[in-house]
Amino acid sequence: MTTTSVLESCIPLPIDKGTLLEVTEKAKDWAIMHGIAMRSKTNFSPDALNFAPFILIPSSFPRKEFESAVNLQTVINQLMHSVAHDEEFLTTTLAETIKVDDFTANLFNVYKKVLANGFGQRISLGLLRSDVMLETKCKNNPRAYSSWKQVEVNTIASGFGHLGPASKAVQSFVMRELGHADKIKNMPDNNALSGICDGMIKSWELYGNPGAVILFIVEVITYNICDQRFHEFYIRDQCPKVQVLRRTLTQVFKEGKLGSNKELLLGEHEVAVIYFRAGYEPAHYPSQDEWDARYMMECSRAIKCPSIHYHLAGTKKVQQALAQPAMLERFLNDPEQVKTVKEIFTGLYALDDTEAGNAAYEMALQEPERFVLKPQREGGGNNIYGVDIPDALRKMNRVERAAWILMDLIQPPISKGYMIRPDNKYAPELVDLVSELGIFGVIIGDVDNIICNYQAGHMLRTKLSTANEGGVAAGLGALDSPYLLD
């Protein structure tokens, strides 16, 4: 990744080595003692935690662009809600993809079967996260970094509702230790955990059975355990009578059944809300049992987060289709909203066997450094970048290409900082970093009515400027929070 613009640091750098060593050790302990932690993938134990990688001081982000991203989130919520409830659009958009992508095809098969048999629950809960990056290639802007572009919208397992606010907390501690407490006011409030969990609580209330539970669908092994448990603990703290269960898809298949009124029953428990923190990648479905469990849940009266149609709305192919001319007008009635959303899209191109798709294919072969190649997957580590794109494309036939989209590579500005990782035994080095901002949104409603729609906090992930992927859970990025520049 090459970029030239540099954002002003929130404090003078570099930090004196002695001071840096002392504050780093304190910050590591502070992080562990406040739940800013994960289980190790390389030395796993269910009884041990490492602190999650984090950036020592907050990374700068222009205030104007931060606030515009926050203010637009309710429009993004509305857009995704409308997309999810448009059967014709989803069917047409994914028609070629499901021919060659088995995972998306299986999701779509669940969707069609539920449509045929009737939804047991009209209401859906959307806990979304719109990921954006600053762009240094902005046109007609006086500042090199004065616009931002959307990377993607996550509609399933939108994580870091706890770790987003927690990163502000540990960085605030560091700023005080370094004598810069006066600058903490430039780090925006972040109520992501309460905002997301309040959406689950509201959905539980809408279900109408005070004895019903909230079900978290989880992986067999959960590495990002603190982020999930803090959601559970917040719900229990706010509503002690609400029980939260954690089950894998396999366990739901073994324990679950539908009642006479399509209630989802797990043993003696009726489920009011299903919150998927797993189910977004093929490995979560090792057999047909897990797909059967997903179908059973989708048929039930439980309020899903996400419902299967929301899950499909978050695919990369849908994102690419929404960027096509005149497409947003199908879902948004306000011309100003349409204009604003169009401005955040970067270049997105289909690769199917059409004139436009073949042109995009040739473009990617000729100038691969301009692009990123994306499959229909979530969770990080799936994309192909730059010089690796031509070989990947040449191995695909014309039909297989439809499982991927091509996206312009965003070139964000650099910031300077210190990345703190569990495996670093020495003083951290001052390095060049780039950041990706995630804005959370909550929307509850059905095809005819929206019950609530609000922005719900944020998270910031930061990686080395030389890195491609930046997922914290995947081990490539680090937790961060924005320091707003005027």
Domain spans of the chain, in order of start: 59-166+188-346+431-485, 347-409
* pLDDT value of position 468: 72
Are residues 195 and 454 in contact, defined by beta-carbon separation less than 8 angstroms? Answer: yes
Residue 94 is predicted with a pLDDT of 96
Phi/psi at 351 (nearest 5 deg)? -120, 15
Amino acid at position 374, single letter: K
Q: Are strands 264-266 and 450-464 parallel, antiparallel or unpaired?
A: unpaired
Helix axes 63-84, 335-344, angle to 10 degrees: 110
Task: Report the topology of domain 59-166+188-346+431-485.
Answer: Rossmann fold (3.40.50)
| pLDDT, position 472 | 61
Per residue in 255-311, pLDDT (tens digit) is 999 999 999 999 999 999 999 999 999 999 999 999 999 999 999 999 999 999 999
The DSSP bridge partners found for residue 40 are none
Q: Domain 347-409, what architecture? A: 2-Layer Sandwich (3.30)
* Cα–Cα distance, 273 to 205 (Å, whole number): 10
The residues facing 464 across adjacent strands are 433
Percentage, residues of the chain above pLDDT 70: 95
pLDDT at residue 145 in the model: 52
> Is this prediction's pTM over 0.85?
yes
Structure tokens at 407: 């996206």
pLDDT of residue 144: 47
Task: Give the model's pLDDT for residue 402.
Answer: 87
Query: How would you classify the pairing of strands 50-51 and 37-38?
Result: antiparallel
Beta bridge partners of 463: 434
**pLDDT of res. 266:** 98
Q: Is cis: bond before 282, omega within 30 of 0?
A: no
Q: In this structure, are residues 250 and 293 in contact, taking their beta carbons and an 8 Å threshold?
A: yes
Q: Write out residues in the chain with pLDDT < 50, as ranges.
A: 1-3, 142, 144
Residues 6 or more apart whose CB falls under 8 angstroms from that of 157 comprise 276, 277, 278, 279, 280, 378, 379
